[in-house]
Structure 1
Amino acid sequence: MKKNYTIQKSPFVVPTTDGKLIEEHFGKATDQNDQVSIAHMIAPPFWSEPFQTPEFDEYTYIIKGKKQLIVDDEKIILEAGQSIKIHKNAKVQYSNPFDEACEYIAVCLPAFSIETVHREGE
């Protein structure tokens, strides 16, 4: 009998060179799902990535620490227990300029892909 659920016990760990941990639980890399991606992330202290203009909505929920976002030139600092939705096609930069790691969950609709994130300089 087919089960009507999927438990993810071994998320795909995305290779990074900047010290950030990305564990994709569901999405293109894990189960070829292009509708949604769900990832657990830990951004190390003083981490940042380039500005991007993604073709997907991105939801972020902070578990521990703080995270800085710049959305269309507005600086936002999220703290543990807070969440945000960044609408597709917004220019955004994610960073952790603080001295402690930031643990969070990110959900992208449709799923994250390197082809649709449009990071500057890539």
Structure 2
Amino acid sequence: MSQKKYIIQNNPFVVPTTDGKIIKEHFGVATNGNSNISIAHMKAPAGWSEPFQTPEFDEYTFIIRGRKQFVIEDETIVLEAGQSIKILKNTRVQYSNPFTEVCEYLAICMPAFSMNLVNRED
């Protein structure tokens, strides 16, 4: 019997959070041990934010619904549904949803997201 050359992900890893954000990692370190790339479906509630961080990975974000705010170095950018962004590794950034509706988006990190590589500030 030959080995299949694809993987269907029906059971993503749900990352435990304490800030109301829903993270479902479809591929990545937590799901299947892949350290080259991570793909996650996210839902950030209204009023959500993270501390500044300087990740050691490139991060691509595609907004499905709502809006998401990025503070990149000293510039504030707001993306809406249908827009995307690539943020290069070793860039200081803060992610937030200061708006009144949930922001749903896809996040792709290369290499894969890992708490060891995110470098969050206190």
TM (normalized to structure 2)? 0.99
Aligned residue in 2 for 1:8: 9
Letter in 2 for 1:52: Q
1:27-66 alignment runs, 5 A limit: 27-66=28-67
Deviations 1:52-91 (A, max 9, x none): 0000000000000000000011000000000000000000
Look up the SS of the partner of 2:96 in the other structure: strand
CA distance in structure 1 between the partners assigned to 2:104 and 2:115 by the alignment: 22
Alignment correspondent of 1:94: 95
Q: How far apart are the structure 2 equivalents of 1:16 and 1:72?
A: 26
Question: Hey, what's the Cα distance between the residues in 1 that align with 2:22 and 2:100?
Answer: 16
Distance 1:8 1:73 in 2: 38
Secondary structure of 1:6's partner? coil
Where 2:116 maps in the other structure, the secondary structure is helix
Matches within 5 A, 1:62-81: 62-81=63-82
Secondary structure of residue in 2 paired with 1:112: coil
Q: Distance in 2 between matches of 1:107 and 1:53?
A: 16
**Is 1:111 equivalent to 2:108 in the alignment?**
no
Q: Which runs of 5+ in 2 are unaligned?
A: none
Amino acid paired to 2:34: N
The alignment of Structure 1 onto Structure 2 pairs a total of residues equal to: 121
CA RMSD of aligned residues (A): 0.3
The normalised TM-score by structure 1 is 0.99
Structure 1 runs (4+) greater than 6 angstroms displaced: none
